[in-house]
Structure 1
Amino acid sequence: MKPQQMSPVGNLTTREVTATSLNISWLPTTHQACITGYTVCWDSKCTNIRDQHYLIQALLPCTEYSVWVAAVADTSSSDSVDIKNTTSVAVPGPVIDLQATNTTSQTVDMIWTQPRTNWTCVKEYKVCWKDGSTAQTCTITDNTSYTITHLMAATNYSVQVGALNAVGELSTLSDISIFTSTLPLAPHTPVTPVIIAVIVILTAGISATVLYMHCKGILLWPPNKHLDPGVRPPPIPLKTFDGQCRQLLDTPSRLSNEYQLLATLSSDILTTQTSLVGQQIDNRKKNRYVNIIPCECHIM
């Protein structure tokens, strides 16, 4: 007589789930008298038991497991029945080996390794940094590295990194201190050539201005000494008299020469009075600038 096929176990259920264990149970087959035990398998592991329940331990949190149970007789076994369960969420452990690399005046690259404990529950990482005077800045990343930007040069920063699980629970923070580098120096500009160029330009400008003012009669150089009203200045030679008069009319600012011109004219008139009395009036009439010289100037 051919042996009858054993029926599978019934009502396989999970009685309790934790972050690291599954407690399962089931009902026996209809051929309970033939059963010598049960085989329970999960994650490539199997065990043989006689009870109708089993506590699977040393599991990873936040992990889905498939569990198979089959009834075993002396010479045969039933078909297996399976059930899937996910272990509970746990708080991740702290990240390890937190390091700062490629530090510049404004950026720093942070790298780390996932936690040793409960790493299967890590969903993302929280990175925070602050200096001694500003508020803390935080960001979230899925990677085990992050580049912090917009830092201040030559500044001490405290950087913290923690792991987050699916429900937002944060691990213990790992921290490190960094110091940003100073700003690069600007290209050196030679100072001496610039100063020399400025001096040359100023000197040339001042010289040109002085020369222009001197030619226009605005500036006399060397300046005339103050004339004593009681001392007659030396007469101007007759051959330069006409030029001096022209200069007086062209440049009214040189009125200080008026007295000297009048003195010259007076001297000339007095000199010629005894010998050229009849020509004095004619000479005066021929003078282009007679209007600026008093007619009675010979009575000085």
Structure 2
Amino acid sequence: MKKTNEIWTIGSILKWTGQYFGEKGVENPRLDAEVLLSHILGMERIQLYVHFEQPLQQHELAEFRAAVKKRATRIPVAYITGCKEFMGLNFTVAPEVLIPRPDTEILVEASLERLNNIGQPHILDIGTGSGAIIISLLARLPAACGAAVDISDKALAVAGGNAAKHQVGDRLTLHRGDVYQPVAGQTYHAILSNPPYIPDSDIAGLAPEVRQEPLVALAGGQDGLSFYRRLIRDADEFLKPGGFIALEVGIHQACPVASLADALPQLKPEAVIKDYGGVERVVILRKSQEG
């Protein structure tokens, strides 16, 4: 894209960018090119092919060049566009929050299934980040209310903006603090979390894109289970009788996480749910009705 006087069509620039990203080691070069261009042009990706021969205006080309330059340095696409789809909703994202991933939809879907039969469910989301988990649930459960906890003021600002965008802000209370500390004395029908679960020693080997996400949302301690120990140890105190805690886990972590409840008489494993790739991705523990 060096010749400023050259006419670039949607088709030609997609072809060039896909090749360029491939040379730079980008995992999904063509897809990323399409996502960036569709964002800049305000089109759905399918429309790019309907308008394949459409030339780009100079301002569009300049904006696309800037985006391509960022992506070539392995900045995640979602941080460049400032948005990411999750559960059919468009969430604002920023470098201060973890980018929502399809695997986390398994956590939301499993929780929704268990909350549908509760009249006015109270839900707690710990480590909320962009708010994708709790906001997706509140959007589908109009009688529900929720609380979201995060240690980062910047993350809470992003979550608050997303709550307002999806019109659930009046049913969501945001708290700054560490794990359960800000909600002492409260109880919930469900506690949800996608906590940091990558062992500290594995952080350096992550893809360049992932390493640009907040370290506090990734690093899970020496064995990756530090936050699960805290979440499960104190869950009984914050769950209503019959309530549940649903946790996203990393590869090979489901059994170790579920076993953390072995010493807790009021909390029993209910389900381990696999993601779309067959990986055990969500652990659900249920509090007894007598608790």
Q: How high is the TM-score relative to the length of structure 1?
A: 0.21
Structure number with larger C-alpha Rg: 1
- Higher RCO (CA < 8 A, seq sep 6+): 2
Q: Compare the two structures and name the one with the higher helix fraction.
A: 2
Normalising by structure 2, we get a TM-score of 0.21
